[in-house]
Amino acid sequence: MRKDFIFTSESVLEGHPDKLCDQISDAIVDHVLKQDPFSRIIAECAVSTAIVFIAARFASQAKVDFSYIARQTIQQIGYDQNAFNAQTCSIISSLREMPAKEYMSRDERKLSDEEIDSIPTNNQATLFGFACNQTADLMPLPIFLAHKLSRELAAVRKKVQLPYLATDGKTQVAVEYRDRRPARIHSLTVIASQGKPASQGGPDLARLYDDIRQTVIGPAFQGEEIRPDGKTKIFINPEGPFIAGGPAVHSGLTGRKGGVDTYGEYSRQSGAALSGKGPTRIDRIGAYAARYAAKNVVAAGLAEECEVQLSYSIGLPKPVSILVETFNTGKIPDEKIALLLERHFDFRIGGIIRQFNLRFLPSLNQGDFYRRLSVYGHVGRKDMDLPWEHTDRANLLKDER
């Protein structure tokens, strides 16, 4: 196992076209589940210049205006340029109603263990969850810092500290590891979109560089143990001005930022999109269950790094296999950890829905839960009380070492 290396992760702002699609898709999920928690819903989105395309399949009693939800989301994100805005973009939808399934309309909170065991998964998927002790939230440091930079860049725009900033943007952080521990910041990149070029009143690159360093990079690393040093390479719009950005510049698609949504590709991730799917889709909620398991393993001190793989087959209620990899950091054999997870965690689809209360989270959060997840990561969040981020099983695992 390599011990000295440089690892890079990226994050993107809510105005990035892929994230715009994720937010529209998850806003639809929120809207449907808030009205009818027993809905089945899959919503995918694609955007390009002045066009939004929504494809949705659902079985629900909810009343949904897909175009209204999309326009509302676009407006909330802040798109008001002539090339793309909530009022003038064209919205095309392809909608199909799915047949209702009796077992999908039952409240898992009221079911017996035998009834939970009778609920099958309706698709096949292999999911990964990961945790490590590089940060307090047990996330890899590169993606943790990249998200901090992105959040700071977005906050600066929303507070109008730099009035020329537009909604699109991305960040990238490269961390140098020594003996598999973060040692220093090797380099970082900030791509900030601006509303106007310098010839029309926008900033030149020198001003942009100074502004971003002072208002974004400095505050983002304040309080961090590992910060940029004198040898850290800092790149800000290295290709030159990035005017406006968004769908007018490049297209977007739901589910295309899997690394941003999870572990910055420091760990493996499933190939399926997380956003746009209701809680009856194992290819979304299984990823949350795998993160929950991995985080509790690390919190229990059983390993410094842990990756949990769950594999599901159509028609079966629980995984056909559970695999644990601790990258030679485990205090006990990986096989024993896998047995502990199988004994103490409920990986059945009905059990996951029940434990995390996934049907009712939109109602409990004013209809805005899954959409918030769709930017800055589905895991490792400090700003949301996510049930799969709890470490309430750590002591149980520790007692069985």
Cβ(372)–Cβ(342) below 8 Å = no
- Identity of the residue numbered 180: R
pTM: 0.96
Residue 1 pLDDT > 70, yes or no?
no
Residue 333 pLDDT > 90, yes or no?
yes
Give the angle subtended at the CA of 73 by the CAs of 70 and 78, to the nearest 5°: 130
Residue 103 pLDDT > 60, yes or no?
no
- 224-279: pLDDT as tens digits: 999 999 999 999 999 988 888 889 889 999 999 999 999 999 999 988 999 999 99
- State residue 302's pLDDT score: 97
- State residue 81's pLDDT score: 81
Residue among 122, 378, 96 nearest 264 (CA): 378
Q: Which helix (H) or strand (E) holds 75?
A: helix 66-77
Spell out a b/e string for 87-103, using b for 16 or more CB atoms within 10 Å of the CB, else e. eebebeeeeeeeeeeee
CATH fold match for the domains 5-12+141-246 and 17-100: yes
Percentage of residues of the chain with pLDDT beyond 90:
88
- State residue 106's pLDDT score: 82
Whole-angstrom distance, CA of residue 85 vs CA of residue 90: 10
Grouping H, G, I as helix, E, B as strand and the rest as coil, residue 40 is strand
- 61-98: pLDDT as tens digits: 999 999 999 999 999 999 988 888 999 999 999 999 98
Structure tokens at 167: 């909604």
Whole-angstrom distance, CA of residue 187 vs CA of residue 285: 34
- 110-123: pLDDT as tens digits: 999 999 999 999 89
- State residue 154's pLDDT score: 96
- C-alpha dihedral, 285 to 291 to 292 to 293, nearest 10°: 110
Q: What is the mean pLDDT of residues 280-288?
A: 97
- State residue 104's pLDDT score: 65
CATH of segment(s) 5-12+141-246 = 3.30.300.10
Beta bridge partners of residue 129, listed in sequence order:
308
Strand 233-236 relative to strand 40-48, pairing: unpaired
Structural domain boundaries in the chain: 5-12+141-246, 17-100, 125-134+255-399
Percentage of residues of the chain with pLDDT beyond 70:
99
Average pLDDT, the chain: 95
- Identity of the residue numbered 81: Q
Q: How confident is the model at residue 29 (pLDDT cuts 50, 70, 90)?
A: very high
- State residue 188's pLDDT score: 97
- State residue 400's pLDDT score: 77
- State residue 151's pLDDT score: 97
- State residue 241's pLDDT score: 87
Q: What is the mean pLDDT of residues 113-136?
A: 95
Grouping H, G, I as helix, E, B as strand and the rest as coil, residue 364 is helix
- State residue 249's pLDDT score: 87
Q: Which helix (H) or strand (E) holds 68?
A: helix 66-77
Chain CA centroid to CA 348, Å: 22
- Domain topology for 125-134+255-399: GMP Synthetase; Chain A, domain 3 (3.30.300)
Residue 214 pLDDT > 90, yes or no?
yes
CATH of segment(s) 17-100 = 3.30.300.10
- State residue 196's pLDDT score: 84
Cβ neighbors of 339 (< 8 A, separation 6 or more) are none
- State residue 80's pLDDT score: 84
